[in-house]
Amino acid sequence: MQIALFHNEVTDEQLIREIEKSHAIKSVTQRSSKTSVLHLNEVLDLEQRNHLRHLGNLHSTDIGFIPHHFDASKIKVLAMDMDSTLINIECIDEIADAVGKKEEVSTITEAAMRGEIKDFSESLRRRVALLKGVPASALEEVFAQRLRLNQGAQELIEGAHAKGIHTLLVSGGFTFFTEKLKAQLQLRETHANQLQINDGILTGEVVGKIVDGAAKAAYVEACCLALGTSKHAAVTIGDGSNDLQMMNGAGLSIGYRAKPTVKEKVDIAFDHVGLNAWLDLL
């Protein structure tokens, strides 16, 4: 089995020695000054993985577990969530802040991302309904004043494009923001929900079918099919339970500052390093 160590500065040799106390390391491959891959003689169970992740956290290092089917030479698709993954905010919460309803909306958002609300579509409709009457100009204000790219996002997209990887942004958020990010980052493809706007005012409704977890997975699979490859050729990145379906069966699944329910299911959980760190595996 292979495990990857991602650090913000340089690989922590002390951490490797600590891992070696309980696991037989066959060899170490240094992928960069910040990333090492350890080749083990064993397959780790969930308890062992959680222990190593905890150990990594003590050293400000993210430890990931590379699945046996991961083939760096065959990665063709990078599928990403937007809110709290590629960018620093949940856009709907910030729009709600314009009308003093952020707390009410964010409570639903957090519950949905933790998986406590099983029907994402219903949770989104409830939240969007609270935006009725908000001027559309609030969207521009959120983009210009509050939205920022998360650590390593720019480098992630540039690095993926340099490798010929198709970049796909699949969001349960809104097209207003995904389209702007598409233009800014030269993303190849984006999918999200469209807010209904009449006379410059949000109606509190969404136009068309909602992009939920199943839709995200379908977009990833369709993208892979269009490129003549399988989902094993995709790397997926997200933070909430709504991302789990698109992550299932991917070549590599990554949680970025993810909810606990997501962390326990992904191959790699980034709590310390930036979004671009996994590119060292290519």
pLDDT along the chain (282 residues), means of 10: 94 90 94 96 92 95 96 98 98 90 89 81 92 95 97 98 99 98 98 98 96 98 98 98 96 97 96 98 97
Residue 27 lies in a domain: yes
- Radius of gyration for the alpha carbons in the chain, expressed in angstroms and rounded: 19
Residue 43 lies in a domain: yes
Residue 152 lies in a domain: no
Instruction: Name which of 282, 269, 195, 198 is nearest 238 in CA terms.
Output: 269
Does the annotation mark 212 as catalytic? no
Q: Do β-strands 77-80 and 234-238 pair in parallel, antiparallel, or remain unpaired?
A: parallel
Residue 5 lies in a domain: yes
Number of structural domains found in the chain: 1
DSSP annotation of 137 reads H
* Consecutive H or E run containing 113: helix 102-113
Residue 36 lies in a domain: yes
Q: What pLDDT is recorded for position 73?
A: 96
Q: What pLDDT is recorded for position 251?
A: 98
Residue 62 lies in a domain: yes
Q: What pLDDT is recorded for position 115?
A: 77
CATH of the domain at 22: 3.30.70.260
Residue 234 lies in a domain: no
CA–CA distance from 98 to each of 67, 92, 220, 227, 233 (Å)? 44, 10, 33, 41, 41
Does the annotation mark 83 as catalytic? yes
Spatial separation of the C-alpha atoms in residues 160 and 254, rounded to whole Å = 15
Q: Hunting for tokens 């952020």 — which residue is that?
A: 102
Q: What pLDDT is recorded for position 74?
A: 97
Q: Which of 81, 93, 212, 239 is catalytic?
A: 81
Q: What pLDDT is recorded for position 88?
A: 98
* pTM for this predicted structure: 0.95
Q: C-alpha 79: how far from its chain's center?
A: 8
CA–CA distance from 281 to each of 65, 72, 249, 259 (Å)? 12, 7, 18, 24
The residues that bridge with 252 in the sheet, in sequence order, are 235
CA-CA-CA-CA torsion sign (140, 125, 192, 207):
negative
32: containing domain: 1-66
Spatial separation of the C-alpha atoms in residues 72 and 75, rounded to whole Å = 6
Q: What is the pLDDT of residues 141-188, one digit of tens each?
A: 999 999 999 999 999 999 999 999 999 999 999 999 999 999 999 999
Q: Which of 83, 212, 243, 267 is catalytic?
A: 83
Burial class (CB in 10 A: 0-12, 13-18, 19+), 30: exposed
Residue 1 lies in a domain: yes
Q: What pLDDT is recorded for position 177?
A: 99
Q: What is the pLDDT of residues 262-280, one digit of tens each?
A: 999 999 999 999 999 999 9
